[in-house]
Structure 1
Amino acid sequence: MLSIGRPTLVTAVALMAFAGGCGTDKASSDRSPANQPPATPVKIEIARSTTIDDTSEYVATLKSRHSAVINPEVGGQVIQIYVHSGERVTAGTPLMQIDALKQQATLHSQEYAREAALANLRYAKQQRERVAKLYAEGVVSKQSLDEAQTALEAVEAQVKALEAQVREQQVQLHYYGVLAPTSGVVGDIPVRVGDRVTQSTLLTTVDQPGDLEAYIKVPVERARQLRLKRLVQILDDTGKVAAEGPIDFISAEVDDQTQSVLIKSRVNNPRGLLRTSQFVHARITWSSREGRLIPVLAVSRINGQFFAFVAEGEGKSLVARQRQIRVGQMIGNDYVVLDGIKAGDRIIVSGAQNLVDGAPVVPQK
């Protein structure tokens, strides 16, 4: 049996201790800052507070506040159109002519009848004067004088009636010429020369440039929030505000077909960019509050939850901390943050694809 002496045992223990010490030094060197993973370069933005508007957008129809719808006063055939769509006219400008030959013939007939009645009136006056002279001389009786007076009065009444009829026919003839009732711009002209029109036929419109009125149908769910004077913004094709004005009418009834409430808003149109019957987007602001905005690119969605990385620490010793957040609507390229981020937080907006919670980061220069 092999035996080990004391000097040999001491040497073995010393060697084991030395090996253990070397292992400890190696582990310590592995945890030194020089061997930590490098900081990931990231772009950082400061979460900012801003006023967040609760808004809704609806399709609106613009109508002129000073639009005249032109219908003929009489029926007949259109024989001439003097204007074209888009032309500016003044009040009294001839727009169209409806065939008035039949009416002119009727007027001439009434005028001839009036002339005949005037001739009878002249004769009746002469006859009355002659009988009155004979009565004064005692040649005729009082009855003859009364009969002459009665005949004169009857002819006078007939003349007055015919004169009234002539004036009526003259007014009627005037209606065959369609005139602009007000100054403005001629709208669409759906009729053509040769068309037969009635009093219910739309000939055209004359719209005065300037103020318009937006007709907006708001879902009944929002009706309780409607208030007079609440601001309405009209948006152009790029989403920019083209005009705005207050709500000045709220219908008391709900449309049973669309379950919506009609409201109207007076819209200024100083530059003339908006037109009557144009469809536009109308934005209504319901309320405003303070909130935080962070870029959409800074937000990730995991299992239906929203997260963002925030840089924490001081100086160059920054680490990424993942936070669960609650977001609201999008405004442009930003999310409205309802919870999880406060103003002044340093949001990592790029370079976060491979980050994990606690990873060191360094701001990009």
Structure 2
Amino acid sequence: MNSETIISKINNNESNNLTKTNKKTTMKKIIVFSVLSILLISCSGKNNEMPPAAPPTLPVLNIVKSDALTSTEFPVAIQGKADIEVRPQVNGTLEKIFVDEGAYVTKGQPLFKINDNAYRQQFNNAKASLRAAEASLINAQIEVDKLIPLVQNKMYSEYQLRTAKSNLSIAKSNVEQAKSVLNNAQINLDYTLIHAPINGFIGRLPRKQGSLVGPQDPEALTKLSDIKEVYAYFSLSENDFLNFKKQYEGSSIAQKIKKMPAVSLVLSDNTEYEHKGNVDMVDGQFDKTTGAITLRAKFPNNNGLLRSGNTGKVKINVNHANAIVVPQEATIEIQDKVYVFLLDNNNSVMRQPIIVSGKSGTNYLVEEGIKTGDRIVLKGFENLPDGAKIIPENTKKEVAKL
């Protein structure tokens, strides 16, 4: 082996040793760099963590007792003070109709005329029969007057006088009977002209001129409504009626009715009738099929805006003394239950169910669930979990009243 070959091998060995040394150094640098990077990232992450959020500041309402006014609505059927069916009292052909549908008529005004030819003939016959009976009576009286002195002078027997007096009694009875027949004929004749029994408005006229009418017809000639005052009939369940009796003072139903405040009438378009009414009647018994009892409220109607057959609702206001009232906006409804968010002494919230006994405008009357001195979150509670803390912001918000 020559010297050049030996030198070349030495140089190659040295080069390999240097390469290995460089690789080890590089690996050490990479490991150190990685460790430093991890430490830096870790430190950077700790420095960038968000601080815990501060509890929200929300308005809080202190629960106190107050007076409240609630209203309850009941469906009503409206009728005139008098709703009368006008029916014929005799059979015959409807000859004339003097009024039109919807017309206002006064008591005694002619409405319909039934052909009276047959009834006038009956009247004339009865009148003639009465005259004949009266003539027979005169003859019977003359016979008695003639026999009295003759019997006294014993020219005729007592038996003949008694017979004459008996005939006189029969003649008197015949006159009375003829008068009765004449009066009956007069009544039937008068029935052919049908008059308005009261003041009021004419309803529909289903029968037209020329129709055959009679007392047994299933449908009336018309209906006549006196609507200067109207009656609104509504029903109370047994529980509502018991509450009604508890609400008002008095030893009798009549006395309790007098203590009731005026009631309002809400029409079918949800507008309120301009005049207030008063409950003036309670039915004598419950309906066996519905378990309800009927009450009647009376409303003035001088301008005729209401008519028989109108529908609506009667609104009855009830005063509640020392009631717990919360705004509806401070509640949430979940699965037919109403909740409020109640605060404890540590200002932690808890969802609390309440029992609502009624409404007063935009407020709830609370029967159970919260008490005087409790605090509830007024708004902003939608996303609060149970146990969440808040910073209470006391509010002087007054619960709205009707």
TM-score range, shorter chain: 0.5 to 0.7
Are the counterparts in 1 of residues 70 and 359 from structure 2 also a CA contact under 8 Å? no
What residue number does 1:210 align with?
Answer: 228
How far residue 330 of structure 1 moved from its aligned partner, in angstroms, is 3.9
Letter in 1 for 2:363: D
Aligned match of 1:291 in 323, 330, 334?
Answer: 323
Partner Cα separation in structure 2 for residue 309 and residue 239 of structure 1: 38
How far residue 182 of structure 1 moved from its aligned partner, in angstroms, is 2.0
How far residue 234 of structure 1 moved from its aligned partner, in angstroms, is 4.4
What residue number does 2:86 align with?
Answer: 70
Q: Is 2:260 the partner of 1:233?
A: no
Q: Given the superposition, is the C-alpha separation of residues 100 and 199 from structure 1 closer, same or farther in structure 2, using an over 3 Å criterion?
A: farther
Which range moves more in the overlay, 51-60 or 67-76? 51-60
Aligned match of 2:213 in 196, 202, 225?
Answer: 196
What residue number does 1:17 align with?
Answer: none
Are the counterparts in 2 of residues 305 and 324 from structure 1 also a CA contact under 8 Å? no
What residue number does 2:279 align with?
Answer: 246
SS in 1 for 2:198: coil
Task: List runs of 5+ in structure 2 lacking aligned partners.
Answer: 1-42, 246-252, 396-402
How far residue 215 of structure 1 moved from its aligned partner, in angstroms, is 2.7
Partner Cα separation in structure 2 for residue 323 and residue 203 of structure 1: 69
1:132-171 maps to which residues of 2 (within 5 A)? 161-171=177-187
How far residue 92 of structure 1 moved from its aligned partner, in angstroms, is 0.7
Are the counterparts in 2 of residues 48 and 294 from structure 1 also a CA contact under 8 Å? no
What residue number does 1:261 align with?
Answer: 292
Matched residues, percent identical?
16
Q: Given the superposition, is the C-alpha separation of residues 44 and 112 from structure 1 closer, same or farther in structure 2, using an over 3 Å criterion?
A: same
What residue number does 2:364 align with?
Answer: 335
What residue number does 2:189 align with?
Answer: 173
Q: Given the superposition, is the C-alpha separation of residues 81 and 45 from structure 1 closer, same or farther in structure 2, using an over 3 Å criterion?
A: farther
Partner Cα separation in structure 1 for residue 311 and residue 132 of structure 2: 62
Aligned match of 2:238 in 215, 220, 238?
Answer: 220
How far residue 284 of structure 1 moved from its aligned partner, in angstroms, is 4.7
What residue number does 2:126 align with?
Answer: 110
TM value normalised by structure 1: 0.64
SS in 1 for 2:320: strand
Q: Given the superposition, is the C-alpha separation of residues 323 and 289 from structure 1 closer, same or farther in structure 2, using an over 3 Å criterion?
A: farther
Q: What's the CA shift string for 1:331-351, capped at 9, x where partnerless?
A: 4433334543758968533x4
1:334-353 maps to which residues of 2 (within 5 A)? 334-337=363-366, 338-340=368-370, 342=372, 347-349=377-379, 351-353=380-382
Which structure has the bigger radius of gyration?
Answer: 2
Q: Is 2:110 the partner of 1:94?
A: yes
How far residue 118 of structure 1 moved from its aligned partner, in angstroms, is 7.4
Are the counterparts in 2 of residues 41 and 363 from structure 1 also a CA contact under 8 Å? no
Are the counterparts in 1 of residues 228 and 300 from structure 2 also a CA contact under 8 Å? yes
SS in 2 for 1:185: strand
What residue number does 2:99 align with?
Answer: 83
Are the counterparts in 2 of residues 215 and 262 from structure 1 also a CA contact under 8 Å? no
Partner Cα separation in structure 2 for residue 363 and residue 53 of structure 1: 25
SS in 2 for 1:267: strand
TM value normalised by structure 2: 0.59
Partner Cα separation in structure 2 for residue 262 and residue 72 of structure 1: 35
Instruction: Give the root-mean-square deviation of aligned CA atoms.
Output: 5.0
Partner Cα separation in structure 2 for residue 173 and residue 334 of structure 1: 67
Partner Cα separation in structure 1 for residue 183 and residue 85 of structure 2: 27
Are the counterparts in 1 of residues 63 and 374 from structure 2 also a CA contact under 8 Å? yes
Which range moves more in the overlay, 321-330 or 156-165? 156-165
Which has more helix, going by share of residues? 2
Letter in 2 for 1:336: L
Letter in 2 for 1:276: S
Which range moves more in the overlay, 280-289 or 72-81? 280-289
Task: List runs of 5+ in structure 1 lacking aligned partners.
Answer: 1-22, 136-140, 313-318
Partner Cα separation in structure 2 for residue 359 and residue 226 of structure 1: 43
Partner Cα separation in structure 2 for residue 217 and residue 182 of structure 1: 29
Partner Cα separation in structure 2 for residue 294 and residue 345 of structure 1: 11
Partner Cα separation in structure 1 for residue 92 and residue 373 of structure 2: 74
How far residue 309 of structure 1 moved from its aligned partner, in angstroms, is 7.1
SS in 2 for 1:84: coil
Which range moves more in the overlay, 176-185 or 109-118? 109-118
Q: Given the superposition, is the C-alpha separation of residues 120 and 48 from structure 1 closer, same or farther in structure 2, using an over 3 Å criterion?
A: same
Are the counterparts in 1 of residues 277 and 298 from structure 2 also a CA contact under 8 Å? yes
Which has more strand, going by share of residues? 1
How far residue 285 of structure 1 moved from its aligned partner, in angstroms, is 5.5
